[in-house]
């Protein structure tokens, strides 16, 4: 099952990376590239969520549940994976609701910011998974320099919490400024 999990995790990661590029192309691009990116974004996001669910299920089946919950690094890996999937689910719902207009104006900027946060979450999840598989990365060393021990119980440095709050408030303000109700008043 371990090999299957290692294979399955690459599908949502690739689709999420592609979705982020499509959001940037849809927001900043012009012409047919921007239209194609905006038009295909929802399909890529739905495929990524299906892959994420498969990866999460296979990840739970790699080791017994007791082992998963007793290892701080596995707990961190699971939490990052669930947070990344949750954030990309929100992005998918936003794109589904707004359609092709999701990547335009302030909405598009908010999607890009959310996508960058989602990319950071899946990168951290991946580096933790790499440690579990015996292949640590340089990202782990960077996290340690920023005050986050990947070996310890889940802990987010205060600076990271402040960044998350500022990003959340900024996204809310940008989203409100880009809403049709705000523009018509």
pLDDT tens, residue by residue, 43-54: 999 999 999 999
For residue 103, count CB atoms less than 10 angstroms from its CB and return exposed for 0-12, middle for 13-18, buried for 19 or more: buried
The pLDDT value given to residue 161: 73
Mean pLDDT of 140-160: 74
The pLDDT value given to residue 115: 95
Nearest CA-CA partner of 56 in 97, 9, 123 = 9
Mean pLDDT of 68-89: 85
The pLDDT value given to residue 1: 58
Residue 68 vs residue 74, higher pLDDT: 74
CB 125 within 8 A of CB 77: yes
Least confident of 5-9, 64-68, 86-90: 64-68
The pLDDT value given to residue 97: 87
Nearest CA-CA partner of 42 in 120, 114, 97 = 97
Question: pTM of the full predicted structure?
Answer: 0.79
Least confident of 9-23, 46-60, 63-77, 95-109: 63-77
| Average pLDDT for the chain | 84
Burial pattern 5-37, b for ≥16 Cβ within 10 A else e, equals bbebbebbbebbbbbbebbbbbbebeeeebeeb
Residue 159 vs residue 102, higher pLDDT: 102
Domain ranges of the chain: 2-184
Is 60 exceeded by the pLDDT of residue 141?
yes
């Amino acid at each position: 099952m371990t090999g299957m999990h290692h294979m399955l995790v690459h599908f949502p990661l690739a689709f999420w990376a592609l979705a982020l590029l499509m959001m940037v192309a849809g927001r900043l691009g012009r012409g047919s590239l921007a239209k194609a990116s905006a038009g295909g974004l929802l399909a890529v996001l739905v495929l990524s969520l299906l892959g994420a669910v498969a990866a999460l299920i296979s990840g739970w089946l790699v080791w017994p549940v007791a082992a998963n919950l007793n290892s701080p690094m596995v707990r961190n890996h699971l939490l990052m994976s669930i947070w990344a999937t949750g954030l990309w689910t929100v992005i998918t719902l936003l794109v589904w609701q707004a359609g092709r207009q999701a990547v335009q104006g302030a909405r598009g900027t908010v999607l890009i910011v959310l996508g960058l946060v989602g990319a950071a979450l899946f990168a951290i999840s991946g580096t933790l998974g790499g440690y579990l598989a015996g292949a640590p990365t340089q990202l782990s060393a960077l996290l340690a320099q920023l005050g986050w021990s990947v070996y310890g119980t889940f802990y987010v440095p205060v600076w990271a919490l402040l960044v998350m709050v500022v990003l959340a408030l900024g996204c809310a303000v940008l989203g409100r400024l880009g809403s049709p109700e705000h523009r018509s008043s």
